[in-house]
Structure 1
Amino acid sequence: MYMCYAFKNTGLFNAEKKIIAEITENSGYIAKSVDDNDDPDFNISMKRGYGGVAIIWKKEINENIKELIDGGNRIQAIHIQQGDKPICLINVYMPSDSKNADIEYKDTLAQIDEMIEKYKDTHEIIVCGDMNGSLG
């Protein structure tokens, strides 16, 4: 069995991905940032992010890992080749504290549902991450 570590970060910006590369010298990783589709304004102090996820694994299994491009900046997924049926590891950071949290939460759930439907016949599926939500 392979060992992968999935984590979320509430403030991972694209420019900060190099930090993950530095601390994972003997590991492989894949990450999504809150600003992957935008350029942040570095003329002001960097605001707190509202998403970003990453998955880290030992370099020895690099050849068994492929990024899956599904999901927005709150979802990171990888294909792990092992045995007859590969694993689809979905790491998610659910929104819980914003003025649009309800809409964002439902949208993120819909993205996860789409991924499960897409990979259910070909992969073992593992969903992990921060599933916090708010009834408020």
Structure 2
Amino acid sequence: MTSVEMISFNCRSVKRSCQHIRDLCCEYQVIAIQEHWLLPNLDFLNTIDDKFRAYGVSAVDTTSVLKGRPYGGVAILWRKDMFPTVNHIYCGNPRVTAVRSELACRSIIVVSVYMPTEAGDNLPMFTECLEVISAVIASHDDVESVIICLGGFNGDVSHKNSLFGHELVAYCAEEHWTCADVSTLGVMSGTYTYLSDAHGTTSWIDHVVVTSAALRALRGVRVLNNVYWSNHFPLAVEFDFYRNEIFAATNILNQPIQTGLAGEPVSTDAWRRYSPEKIE
């Protein structure tokens, strides 16, 4: 196998979605999970599929009396035969988890993230999570490192009024990251990864953010809009870490972005028109 297929899935309870995740394990080698809703005892993650190992963090505070259902939590599952040695990277934030392994003589780092709901009051928490991801990347971003961050960013970069979308675009530009799903599928493609239970509206809030080394190995991105396991649709991405081709490092704001419609590239100026330059 020369390629690695990864998928991000906001499952809204890993126990409720267990069979769906097992189905994903049949097709993908790495699965980034958000909203597993587990308590700090996370042994259940390693019982989902015997070909996979897992690491996760819980968002549930058990130091006080528990009320209502559990919430939040992120995890990463990986196929044991492809990644026999995996190390956890401490992130210090219950919304972010990361693991590191070796493949094709390079370091592969995968991050699973679950951002807070988009709201002005939550912006400090959102930027704090971005800073955690930035710290992980900065501490491992050498020539041989491939870093892939998957999950629910809760920012719709295709909507000009999305506060978190604006922040994500700006942060990608500043850190020289690429929002690979947007650059591949196109900001004007009509892609969506979320369907509101309450309003029936759609938005593009799940993303895969990569460093330039990961971008050079990228083969494709797709959204699984034909499955209805959650109000989030799984976001799949494929990499070939054995490729010998060398591409110029790039980021989301310095390359033409394919529209995914007529196939004509969108210029940087056009991208900026669809990016939230100002939040009223």
Aligned to 1:41: 65
Tell me, yes or no, if structure 1 residue 18 matches structure 2 residue 39: no
Partner of 1:135: 163
Aligned pair count? 131
Partners of 1:129 and 1:108 lie apart in 2 by 12
* Structure 2 residue matching 1:24: 3-state secondary structure: coil
Q: CA RMSD in A?
A: 2.6
Matched, 1:126 2:148: yes
Distance 1:4 1:10, change over 3 A: closer
**Higher RCO, Cα 8 Å, sep 6+:** 1
Q: 1:52 to 1:79 in 2, by over 3 A?
A: same
Does structure 1 residue 32 correspond to structure 2 residue 57?
Answer: yes
Contact 1:28–1:62 (Cα < 8 Å) also in 2: no
Which residue is 2:138 aligned to? 117
Q: Residue deviations 1:51-74, cap 9 Å, x none? A: 310111123245331111124111
Q: Hey, what's the Cα distance between the residues in 2 that align with 1:40 and 1:21?
A: 27
Identity of aligned residues (%): 23
Distance 1:128 1:74 in 2: 12
TM-score, scaled relative to structure 1 = 0.79
1:59-98 matches, cutoff 5 A: 59-61=80-82, 63-96=84-117
Q: How does 1:45-60 map to 2 (within 5 A)?
A: 45-49=67-71, 51-60=72-81
Q: Structure 1: how far apart are the matches of 2:51 and 2:63?
A: 29
Instruction: Give me the TM-score of the superposition, normalised by structure 2.
Output: 0.42
Aligned to 2:185: none
Q: Distance in 2 between matches of 1:100 and 1:10?
A: 24
How far does residue 20 in structure 1 lie from its aligned partner after superposition? 2.1
- Structure 2 counterpart of 1:107: 128
1:31–1:55 contact (8 Å) kept in structure 2: yes
Amino acid at match of 1:21: N
| Pair 1:104–1:53, CA change in 2 (3 A) | same
Structure 1 unmatched ranges of 5 or more: none
